[in-house]
Amino acid sequence: MSRLTRMIERLSTQQACIDHVARAIAGQPGVVLEIGLGKGRTVDHMREVMPDREIYAFDGFVHAPPAAVPDDDHLFLGDFRETLITPPDHLRGQAIFAHADIGSEDRDADAVLAPIVGERLVSWLRPGAFVASDRDLKVQAWQRLSVLDGQPWQYFIYRT
């Protein structure tokens, strides 16, 4: 499979996951977290399908175009293992959805990072929140959903 086909499949699956969760959380309170701002594509899409939600993004550094970068109050820069440790008081237990796009081409490194991200996200999430990720976050207390089986790219959706 070409790298282009893989990218298209990954982005199509991300969009389907975000759209599914946006419908599922409609009318429920809570903020949204984007773990892995990247080039800002998913944040931009979330702004479109969840226009009334506050969206907080996390990444090691900014490499998105300026229009896709949240303001300083909604952006956390640094290593996920550090920036996700303790939510600010106003965000503790407030996220209704977290999207974690943390995968790389180094599956071994991803396998180490993913459970750490999952563990760190717990204190940010509301009861009944959704988490979608390109890697298995391995949080035992979360229910893994299979609502998007059949998508071309493997994705994990959980409910807290």
pTM of the predicted model, to two decimals? 0.94
Rounded to whole angstroms, how far apart are CA atoms 80 and 78?
6
In the chain, the number of structural domains is: 1
Confidence (pLDDT) at 152:
67
DSSP SS3 for 112: helix
- What CATH number does residue 76 fall under? 3.40.50.150
Confidence (pLDDT) at 129:
98
Confidence (pLDDT) at 147:
66
11-58 residue pLDDT tens: 999 999 999 999 999 999 999 999 999 999 999 999 999 999 999 999
50 near 27, Cβ under 8 Å?
no
The yes-or-no verdict on residue 105 having pLDDT over 90 is no
The whole domain housing 113 covers 3-159
